[in-house]
Structure formats: structure tokens, C-alpha cells
């Protein structure tokens, strides 16, 4: 797509000369027709790229919904385990799936930024990048937000430091331990991801 745009931009700067004297020149008319064909090809390629991105976002949304179901099943198993029942609470499979989906969404984000750069260099009337890119950015941002929020889980439920270490039983002014985990693990040295944990001490108002 970038090569097509560079070729069109070069031909446009070289051949397009809006001059009345050349408007009837057969050679100039032929050059304009070739230039128009390049623009139509560029427009078609842009629309195809945007359509593929729409398709990928649709698939990622479906995958995210499936991950939400898997995460709900994991929470149910964790609750049964806290109550003394059997259950496998290994988070490694979920972490792998969440991470791969996160990597795909961030790659789409980079692609959208590249498309914005192309739009800044060359645009035209009814340019699909102008109309559709902001909508794709909003949709992608929403998916990333939902994914990262749901990827933050309590791996080990709060428990008191007594002999039984029974989970889900807390007392006022008693020490307890817990462990949280972010299921999206992206290996990016330039933009490391961090998850900070704090206790909300805000007391909700009493019901009336």
C-alpha cells in the first residue's frame, strides 16, 4: 500500500500540470488517465485494507467473548477450591490466550498509526482513511480497554495468616495476604506494562 501511494504521489507531482494549453494535448490526457487509474487502484487497496481490519476486529471481539467465558469458568473453579472442593486453577492457558490476543490488538494499533501517516501524506476526495480510520481506532481502543481490565485477576484470594489460611474469611484490623496477576504479558522493553495494586479504603454510604 505504501509503495502504491509513493508511485501515485510521484506521478502526480511529475505529470499533473493544470494548464489550459495542455488540456487538449493527447499525450497529457493519456498521462491524466494513467494517473486516474493509479488513484483508483490506491483507493481500492485502501478499502481492502480497512475491510480486512474490520474483519480482524470482529474476530478478536468474538475471541475476547470466548475468553470471558473461560475466565468465568476459572473463577467458578477457584471459588469451589476456596470452599474445599476440587478444581484446577492453573492460569497458564488463559495467560497464553490473553497475551496472544493482546499482541494482535497492539499490532492492529500500529497498523492504524501507519495508515494515519499515509493519510497525512496523500489524501483525496472521499478518502476512506478519513472516514473509517477514526471509527476503527475507537473500536480498537474499546477492545483493548475491555481486554486489559478483564485480564487483571486475583490469582490467590485473600487469606489470613493463621494455620488454616482459609480464603475468603477476613476480619477487621487483621492482616491478610493475596496475589493478583495481569494475564497480558507483552515483551516490550520500550513500553513495559505494570500493574499497581492498592486497597480502596473508601467507605460506601450507608443505605437509607
pLDDT, residue 105, reads: 95
* Residues 134-161: tens digit of each pLDDT: 999 999 999 999 999 999 988 887 766 6
Give the number of other Cβ atoms within 10 Å of residue 166's Cβ: 13
Query: For residue 20, is pLDDT > 60?
Result: no
Hey, what CATH topology would domain 2-156 get?
Glutathione S-transferase Yfyf (Class Pi); Chain A, domain 2 (1.20.1050)
The top-scoring range by mean pLDDT among 28-37, 167-176, 198-207 is 28-37
Averaged over 127-136, what is the pLDDT? 93
Amino acid at each position: 500500500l505504501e509503495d502504491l501511494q509513493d508511485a501515485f504521489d510521484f506521478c502526480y507531482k511529475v505529470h499533473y500540470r493544470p494548464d489550459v494549453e495542455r488540456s487538449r494535448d493527447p499525450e497529457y490526457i493519456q498521462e491524466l488517465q494513467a494517473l486516474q487509474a493509479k488513484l483508483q487502484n490506491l483507493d481500492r487497496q485502501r478499502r481492502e485494507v480497512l475491510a480486512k481490519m474490520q474483519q480482524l476486529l470482529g474476530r478478536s471481539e468474538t475471541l475476547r467473548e470466548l475468553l470471558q467465558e473461560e475466565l468465568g469458568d476459572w473463577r467458578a473453579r477457584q471459588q469451589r477450591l476456596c470452599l474445599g472442593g476440587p478444581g484446577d486453577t492453573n492460569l497458564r492457558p488463559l495467560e497464553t490466550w490473553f497475551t496472544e490476543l493482546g499482541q494482535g490488538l497492539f499490532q492492529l494499533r500500529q497498523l492504524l498509526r501507519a495508515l494515519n501517516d499515509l493519510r497525512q501524506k496523500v489524501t483525496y476526495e472521499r478518502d476512506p482513511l478519513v472516514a473509517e480510520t477514526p471509527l476503527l481506532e475507537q473500536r480498537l481502543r474499546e477492545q483493548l480497554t475491555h481486554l486489559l481490565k478483564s485480564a487483571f485477576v486475583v490469582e490467590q484470594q485473600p487469606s489470613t495468616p493463621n494455620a488454616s489460611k482459609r480464603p475468603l474469611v477476613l476480619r477487621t484490623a487483621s492482616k491478610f495476604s493475596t496475589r493478583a496477576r495481569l494475564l497480558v504479558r507483552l515483551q516490550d522493553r520500550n513500553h513495559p506494562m505494570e500493574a499497581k495494586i492498592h486497597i480502596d479504603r473508601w467507605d460506601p454510604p450507608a443505605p437509607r
